[in-house]
Structure 1
Amino acid sequence: MTDSLRENSPGVIRVERRSVGFIPQQERYGNAWNQFTLWFGANLQITTVVTGALAYVLGGDVFWSLIGLFIGQVAGGVVMALHSAQGPRLGLPQMISSRAQFGVYGAAIPLILIIFMYLGFAASGTVLAGQAITNLYHGSTWSGILIFGAASAVFAIIGYNIIHRLSRWVSVISIIAFAYLFFRFFIIADVGDLLSIKEFTWPSFLLAMALSASWQIAYGPYVADYSRYLPENTKSNSVFILTLAGTVISSTIAMSFGVFIAAWAGDAFKGDEVGTVVRLGTGGVVAGLIYLSIAIGKLSINVLNTYGGFMSMMTTYSGFRGKAEIPQSLRIISILIMTTISCLIALLGRDEFLPAFSSFLLFLLTFFIPWSAINLADFYWISKEKYDVPALADPDGRYGRWNVSALIAFIGGILIQLPFVATHFYTGPLVAKLGGADISWIVGLVATTVLYLALRPLDRRTFPDHTILPEENPVRHVDGS
C-alpha cells in the first residue's frame, strides 16, 4: 500500500502531505456524504447561536427574524455549495482556482482580505471556546484561549483526514447537546409568547437575511478545500446538495436557538453568551458537559479557520514563487503563525466581543460578495468548468500574472456596495433612504456578476476545450518531482 493511500485509510492518523497543490487521482477518496457531516458539525455550535441572536439583539423581533435568517441561509448556502462542487472537479484548494480569474499574482489581492477573515473568525471563536473551557476548571479566560488555540493548531497540522473525522464526532455530540438545550428551553421558556413578538420592519428583516447570508458566503473562500480529495467522478449535484443541506439545516437550528435565547434572556445575554446558554441546564455535571460540548463544537470550525488561513497564506506565497506545492516545514510554520495571531487578537478583544464581531461579520460581505460572484461566473459560465490546472502555478501561462478585467470587477463590486452598507463603523449614504436596511450583499452579487461579464472583451485569457490536469503534463508535477 502506498504512503498516500495508507494516509487515507480508516484508523490511520498521519500529518497530511499535501497543502496547496493538486490532489492526484490515486490519492482521492471518500464520498459526497462527508460534506454533509463536515458542514453540519461546523455550524451546530455556539458562534452560530450568537450570530442568530444578533438578529434580535440589534433590533429585530422573534418571528420575522427567524424567517429572515432562514431565507439568508438558503441564499448564501446556494452560493457556498456552488463553490464546494468545484473541489472534486479541480482537486485544488478554493483560492488556488481563483488564479484562473484574477491571474497568478492578482489572486493575492482578495487572498489578503480573506486571511483577515480567517483571523477574525478564529479569534472570535477562540473567545467563546475560551469562556467554555475556563468554566470547566474555573480558571481565567486567557488560559482557556491559549489551550483552545493550541488544540486547534494540532488538528490543523494533522490536516484534512482528521478534520473530517472530527466533524463526524462533533456532529453527534452537537446533536445531543442541542436536543437537550432545546428540551430544557421549551420547559423553562414560553416559546409561544416569544413567537408572538412579531413586529415586521424591512431594516430588521434584511439585517437578519444579511447576517445568515454572510455567515454562509464567508465559507466560500475555503469550502472546496474540504471537497478536493473526493474522486473526480463524484457527482457535482451530490456535492452541491449535501453541502447545502448540511450547512443550512445546522445553521438554521443554531441561529433559531440564538434568536429564542436572546429574546428570553434580554440584556443578560450580552457579554455572557456562553454562560446564558449553559444556565439552561441543571448545573453540576450537566453544566460541565454543556461547556465541554461547546468547546468541542467550536474546535471543529476553528480548525477549519486555522487550516483555511494557512492555505490562503501559502497560496499567496506559492503564487509569487511560481510553485505548485510548498515544503512540509513551511506548512507547519504558517499554521503556528496563524494560531498565534488569532490568539493574540482573542486575548486583546475578549471584553468587547459581541459588538466587534457583529460589525466584522456584516462588513465581510462587502469584500467577499464580489470575489464569489467573479469565481462562480467564471467557472460555470465563462470557462464552462474547464481549467488548465498546471497553468495556475505558472505566471507566464495562459492565465498570466494579472487579469485586469477581474480586478476591475472586484474593486467595482466593492465600491458599488458601499452606498448600501450599514454597520456600526460605516453606514452608506443610501441606507437612510431605505429605512436603515442593508441590501449591499444583494446589490453586490448582481452588479459584480453583470460587470464581470460586461468586461469580458478586456479579458485576454484562453481556455482549454477540456480540463487539463497535472497527470496529463509530466513536465509539471505538483510534488516537485
Structure 2
Amino acid sequence: MTIEQSTFSGRMPAGAGDLAVERHGIEPVPENNRYGRPARLFTVWFAPNLTMTGVFTGTVGVSLGLDFWTAFTAMILGTVVGALPAAYLCTWGSRTGTGQLPLSRLAFGRGVALPGILQWLSSIAWDALIGLFGGGALAQLLGWPFWLGALVVLFLQGAVGVFGYEALHRLQTVMTFVLGAAFLIIGAKLLSGVPLPVTGSAHGADRFGAFILTSTIALSLSISWAPYASDFSRYLPRTTSRPRMFWYSALGMVLSFAWVQTLGLWGARLFTDQTAAGVHGLLGGGVLGAFGLLAIAAAAVCSNAMNDYSGSLALQAAGVRIPRPLAAAAAAVLGFLLVLWMHAADTTARFQNLLLFVGYWIPAFVGIVIVDERMRARARRGAPIDIEAEFARPQPWWPAPLAFVVAFAAAVPFMDTTLFVGPVAAALHGADLAYYVAFVVAVAVYAPLRLLLRARPAGTRPGGEAAQPVS
C-alpha cells in the first residue's frame, strides 16, 4: 500500500456499535464493509439541528420587522427548499460508498480543491456559529469564563469527530431523545407564559424584502448540509432503498429546523444574542435551568462533531494528504479561535454575516454536481454506477470550476449582509436572492459546457484530463 493509499484509506467500522477510531478517509467504502438501515439517517439529520443556532436564526424574522405568521411561513419555505437537495444528495452515499466532497471530484476533477477548501473553511465557521452558544451555556452552568466553556465544547466535539462515522451515528441516536426532551420543555415554557409576536413593524416593500431575507437565512441553514450529505450514508449497503433514504433525511432536517426556528420566532424578544441566558431565565433556574444549559452545550457537541468529520473528508478531497482523524482535530482547534473572535464584539452582526457567507457557494456546487450526476446516469443507460469506472473516465476538469466562479459572481449583486448589500438586493428592499441566482447560473453555465465537451475516449486529453483517481 502506498503512503497516499494509507492516508486516504484505513480502518473502517465493522458494523453498528463499533466505536473504534475510523481511520478511513476518502477512498470508496467497499460493499463488504457496508451495514446499517436508512432509518438511522433520520436521527443523524435531526439531532444536530436542535441547537441554539437554529433558535437564534428563528429570531431574525421578528428582528427584521415581520409578524410571527409571516416569518414562520418564510422560515418553512426556506427550510424545505434547502433540505430537498441535501436529502437527494444523501441518497448517493449508498450507491457509491463515497463522501460528498470526495464524490464531487467526478465533476470538478483537480478543480475540486476550490469547493474542498471552501467546505473545510465552512466546517470551521459552523464550529464557531454553534460553539458560540454551546460554550456560553457551559460557562454559565459551571461559572466558568466563556473561553473555557468553549474550549471544553470544542474539545469534546473534536474527539467525536476523530472517532468518526459510527460514533457520530450512535451519538445522534441518543441525543435525538435527550435534546428532544430539552426543547419540548423550552416549548412548553414558551406556551405557558410568552405571547406570540403577532404584529410587525415592516410594511409594503420592506415587508417583502424582510420575508425573502428571512426565507434565505432559513434556506442557508438546511442547504448547508448538502456538501456533507453522502458522508453519513456512505456505509449503507448499495441495496438500501433510495426513497426511504431521501424521506428519512428530508424529514430529519425539516422537522428539526422548523421546530427550533419556531421557538426562536416565538421567544424572539427573550432570545437575544445571549440565548443561553434567555433559556436559563425562561426555565427559571434550578435543576430545570441547569438541564437546559447542559442540553445546549451537548447540542453544540453533536452538531459540530459532524462539521469536523466532514471537514476532514473535504480537506483530503482537496488534495491535502493528512490522516482523517488529525484533520478533524485541526478543524476543532481552528473553530475554537473563531468562536473567540465572534464572542469579542457585535455577536448578532457577525453571526448573520458568517451564516450567510459560509453558504453562498453551496447552491452553485449543488447545481454542478447534480447536472454531472444526471448526465453520467444517462450515459450509463440505467446500469448501476461503478464508482471506480466513473473516476477513470476522462473528462475536462475546467467547466465545473468555471461555472462555480461565474455563478458566485452573478450572485454578488443579490447578496444582503451587514458588510455588503448588493445593488439588486438594495433595490428589492433587502431581499436576498443570491442563493437562487447562484444555483440557476451554475446550471445554465455548466450544463451546456458538459453537453459540448462530452467525455472523450481514453487517452485523449484536449484541454483537460481525467478526474483525479481515488487513491
Residue 398 (structure 1) aligned to one of 384, 393, 405: 393
Q: Which runs of 4+ in 1 moved over 6 A?
A: none
1:68 aligns with 2:74: yes
Residue 349 (structure 1) aligned to one of 337, 342, 361: 342
Equivalent runs, 1:150-299 vs 2, <5 Å: 150-191=155-196, 194-197=197-200, 201-262=207-268, 264-265=269-270, 269-299=271-301
Range that drifts further, 246-255 or 380-389:
380-389
Residue 417 (structure 2) aligned to one of 423, 431, 448: 423
Q: Distance in 2 between matches of 1:66 and 1:257?
A: 10
Equivalent runs, 1:40-51 vs 2, <5 Å: 40-51=46-57
Paired residue type of 2:372: D
Paired residue type of 2:393: R
Using structure 2 for the length normalisation, give the TM-score.
0.89
1:438 aligns with 2:440: no
Equivalent runs, 1:92-103 vs 2, <5 Å: 92-103=98-109
Relative to structure 1, is the Cα distance of residues 66 and 463 closer, same or farther in structure 2, using a 3 angstrom cutoff? Answer: farther
The Cα offsets for residues 74-103 of structure 1, whole Å up to 9 and x where unpaired, read as: 111111111111111110010011111011
Q: Distance in 1 between matches of 2:12 and 2:408?
A: 45
Unaligned runs of 5+ in 1: 465-475
- In structure 1, the partner of 2:4 is none
**Cα displacement (A) at 1:8:** 3.6
Paired residue type of 1:256: T
Relative to structure 1, is the Cα distance of residues 390 and 463 closer, same or farther in structure 2, using a 3 angstrom cutoff? Answer: farther
**Cα displacement (A) at 1:195:** 3.0
- In structure 1, the partner of 2:5 is none
Paired residue type of 1:241: W
Paired residue type of 2:353: S
Paired residue type of 2:183: F
Relative to structure 1, is the Cα distance of residues 188 and 462 closer, same or farther in structure 2, using a 3 angstrom cutoff? Answer: farther
- In structure 1, the partner of 2:462 is none
- In structure 2, the partner of 1:389 is 387
Relative to structure 1, is the Cα distance of residues 348 and 432 closer, same or farther in structure 2, using a 3 angstrom cutoff? Answer: closer
1:15 aligns with 2:15: no
Paired residue type of 1:97: L
Please report the RMSD computed on the Cα atoms of aligned residues, expressed in angstroms. Answer: 2.4
Q: Distance in 2 between matches of 1:453 and 1:10?
A: 40
**Cα displacement (A) at 1:463:** 9.6
Q: Distance in 2 between matches of 1:369 and 1:382?
A: 20
Q: Distance in 1 between matches of 2:394 and 2:47?
A: 37
Task: State, as a whole percentage, how many aligned pairs show the same letter.
Answer: 27
Q: Distance in 2 between matches of 1:196 and 1:353?
A: 26
Paired residue type of 2:433: I
- In structure 2, the partner of 1:138 is 143
**Cα displacement (A) at 1:199:** 5.5
The Cα offsets for residues 435-459 of structure 1, whole Å up to 9 and x where unpaired, read as: 2211111222222212211222443
Unaligned runs of 5+ in 2: 1-9, 459-467
Equivalent runs, 1:123-134 vs 2, <5 Å: 123-134=128-139
Using structure 1 for the length normalisation, give the TM-score.
0.87
**Cα displacement (A) at 1:11:** 4.1
Paired residue type of 1:282: G
Q: Distance in 2 between matches of 1:130 and 1:176?
A: 20
Q: Distance in 1 between matches of 2:327 and 2:43?
A: 27
1:455 aligns with 2:461: no
- In structure 1, the partner of 2:63 is 57
- In structure 2, the partner of 1:88 is 94
SS of residue in 2 equivalent to 1:251: helix
The Cα offsets for residues 45-76 of structure 1, whole Å up to 9 and x where unpaired, read as: 21111112122224433221100000011111
- In structure 2, the partner of 1:333 is 326
Q: Distance in 1 between matches of 2:27 and 2:286?
A: 48
Q: Distance in 1 between matches of 2:85 and 2:210?
A: 23
CA contact (8 A) 2:56 2:273 kept: no
The Cα offsets for residues 277-330 of structure 1, whole Å up to 9 and x where unpaired, read as: 221112111111111111111111110011111111112125xx7xxxx6xxx2
CA contact (8 A) 2:353 2:418 kept: yes
Q: Distance in 2 between matches of 1:283 and 1:345?
A: 29
Paired residue type of 1:130: G
Q: Distance in 1 between matches of 2:12 and 2:456?
A: 39
SS of residue in 2 equivalent to 1:190: coil
Relative to structure 1, is the Cα distance of residues 363 and 11 closer, same or farther in structure 2, using a 3 angstrom cutoff? Answer: closer
- In structure 1, the partner of 2:362 is 368
Relative to structure 1, is the Cα distance of residues 463 and 303 closer, same or farther in structure 2, using a 3 angstrom cutoff? Answer: farther
CA contact (8 A) 1:97 1:392 kept: no
- In structure 2, the partner of 1:472 is none
Residue 116 (structure 1) aligned to one of 117, 121, 125: 121
Paired residue type of 2:301: L
**Cα displacement (A) at 1:392:** 7.0
Paired residue type of 2:285: G
**Cα displacement (A) at 1:353:** 2.8
Q: Distance in 2 between matches of 1:62 and 1:378?
A: 40
**Cα displacement (A) at 1:372:** 0.9
**Cα displacement (A) at 1:415:** 1.3
**Cα displacement (A) at 1:399:** 4.2
CA contact (8 A) 1:63 1:197 kept: no
CA contact (8 A) 2:79 2:215 kept: yes
Q: Distance in 1 between matches of 2:231 and 2:93?
A: 7
**Cα displacement (A) at 1:378:** 1.4
- In structure 2, the partner of 1:469 is none
1:147 aligns with 2:145: no
